[in-house]
Amino acid sequence: MKKINFLIKLKKEGKLQAVEPSEEIKEAYLKRSNESLSSAKTLLKIGNLKDAVALAYYTMYHCLLAALFKIGIKCENHAASIILLKEVFEIDNTNITKAKSERIDKQYYVDFSVNQEEANNTITIAEEFVNQMNNFIATLSLENIKKYNNKAIDLFTEEKKDKKNIKKDKNQENKA
């Protein structure tokens, strides 16, 4: 319920909303994802490991945004996007959650270090995530786009939550 309230709050702030599904924006985010991956690999080669880890995360995040725009959801919050990955698409969000945490640690705190193996592993995980998401996006039917769009909207629409709670209350009263 805490996650749902967070999503409702973001909707009220205009940071999470239903929009028209957009192939153009989806493609732009997939391009940005590929550019981030390429940059992460380049940074790894030259030994800029902290930034390589950060861009590996952004590789994943931009690919996730592409999937959300494909179904007509605009989300301007990293944590909420990651919640939607699991709650709407039913895709494990463990790796992107960990990558986000690593990015924050490496970008914002000077006492965190990263070695070549860790950075390389993060990039490998990002590549696997992108492959998984690209396959998922490519196989979305119009029917599934609508289904996922409705599922997402249900998560952050307060009115529907209120109606469900009223129905639940009525059902409990009828059983009593």
Which residue is listed with tokens 């119009």? 142
Per-residue confidence (pLDDT) for residue 106, from 0 to 100: 84
Per-residue confidence (pLDDT) for residue 119, from 0 to 100: 94
Residue 91 has pLDDT above 80, yes or no: yes
CB of 75 closer than 8 Å to CB of 81: yes
- Rounded Cα–Cα distance for residues 2 and 158 (Å): 13
CATH code for the domain in which residue 106 is found: 1.20.120.330
The closest alpha carbon to 125, from 102, 104, 147, 152, belongs to 102
Per-residue confidence (pLDDT) for residue 112, from 0 to 100: 82
Tokens encoding 62:
């931009």
Alpha-carbon dihedral of residues 76, 77, 81, 84, nearest 10 degrees?
-100
Tokens encoding 64:
């996730």
Residue 129 has pLDDT above 70, yes or no: yes
Per-residue confidence (pLDDT) for residue 174, from 0 to 100: 46
Range of the domain at 79: 2-175
Q: State how many domains the chain has.
A: 1
Give per-residue pLDDT as tens, 134-161: 999 999 999 999 999 999 999 999 755 4
CB of 65 closer than 8 Å to CB of 73: no
Tokens encoding 6:
């967070």
- Residue 60 or 166, more confident: 60
Which residue is listed with tokens 């924050």? 104
- Rounded Cα–Cα distance for residues 5 and 113 (Å): 35
Q: Is this model's pTM higher than 0.85 or not?
A: yes
In Å, what is the CA distance from 110 to each residue of 50, 104, 117? Answer: 10, 11, 19
